[in-house]
Every structure is written in C-alpha cells, then in structure tokens.
Amino acid sequence: MLNHKDWLAAHFAAKTVNLRVTAINSYLDYIGHSGIRLKGLRIQQKPYLDNVISQADYELLRDSLLRDGELFWHFVVRFLTCTGARVSELRQFTVESVRDGHLDIVSKGHKLRRIYIPTSLQCDAARWLDEIGRRNGYVFSSKSGKPMTARGISMGLKRFAEKYGIDQDVVYPHSFRHRFAKNFIERNPDIAFLADLMGHESLETTRVYLRRTASEQREAVDATIDW
C-alpha cells in the first residue's frame, strides 16, 4: 500500500491522491482491518494567488461593457467586484435589495450575512433598473424572470473576455470576488471585518488575500532586483 501511495503521488495531484487514500482507508474498514491506515499527503498552500483578474483588466472589462451599451454585463461585473458576492449570491440580488442598499442572506450554519451594495453602485444600478422599467424581481434574470444560471453568467463573462482581449483564465465569477478582497485589504487592513463581509468561517481563509498574485510577485521581483 505504501508503494501504491508513492506511485499515486508520482502520477496525480495531491488532492487526487488523498481522495484515493480515503477510499483505500474506507475499504480497509469494510474488510475489518481498521487498525491499518494510510496517511494522506500534506497539501501546502501556494505562496501566491492563482488566476485573479488584475485591477487594470477589471477596469478594462467594466468600462468596455459600459461603452458598448452592455449594461446587464457591466453591472454583473460591478456587483461581483464591488460586493464580493459569490455567483450563487449574485443571482439573489433583487430590485428591492438595490433600493435597500444591501442583501440579507442566510449562509452556512444558518447565520445571517449582509452583503452591502456601495452607494455609488446602488445609485447607478437604481438608475439603470428605472431606465429599463424593472420595478421588482431579480436584477440578473433571464427572459422568464428567473435568476440567470451560474453557468450562463460564467459563459457570458468568458465571451466578453475574448471580445476585449482579456485572458479568459482570469475571467470567471469567483475571480471578481478575489479582486474585491484584494482591493479591500489594500485600503482597509481589518481582516476580521473582511472575513465577515465575505462570509468566511475562519480568518485563515481570509488571510490568503494578504498574499500577492503571481504577477504581482513577478513585478515586485523585477522592480527590486537589479544586480
């Protein structure tokens, strides 16, 4: 079994190896060998954030959508980046929540979490909704009035990334949530408050945003090392 674990580690990612190890341990329990256990691989966190959209690319996407009159997608991008909402939470924003300036949702563990809509975004969104005659219901809805699917949102963002020449690998709903956290922590170092805003159970989850992205690390190295 140890040899097999070594073989797994040489051929698969650590998470895959640990899933296989868990299955093996379950089988050992099933056949009565509960005293035998394989230890999983220790997964080290990367010292940088992967695939996070840069502020420049966010602004390019945001402004290009506004310029081209793609206001639905302009506000998708702004809501994700200015509220830190997950895509599942983005789908829950209503016209009423825009008027209130916040969305209250029940997160894991039946805890109430409030997602704030910054005043500038609230005013712009309210004006847009008024112009299109939307008085109630979901903000980001399909023609049927139901919330647009997470897949539909993801595919739409990829389509516009391609149109505007932005790396599609960094344009996905959760990337904008990362950008929200990065921007927030740069302006307000209260990591406990950020954890509350993002709905994290642990500060360790939020602490990752203190790290630089891979591109930021590269820029820092190039700017520092000239010997």
Is the Cβ–Cβ distance between 38 and 125 less than 8 Å? no
Question: Rounded distance, CA 30 to CA 131, Å?
Answer: 63
pTM: 0.74
Reported as a single tens digit per residue, the pLDDT across 16-54 is 888 999 999 999 888 988 778 888 888 655 555 678 899
CA dihedral 40, 46, 51, 52 (to 10 degrees): 120
Structural tokens at position 217? 């690390």
| For residue 111, pLDDT beyond 90 | no
The residues of the chain that CATH labels 1.10.443.10 are 55-220
Fold category of 55-220 in CATH: hpI Integrase; Chain A (1.10.443)
| For residue 198, pLDDT beyond 80 | yes
DSSP state, residue 141? B
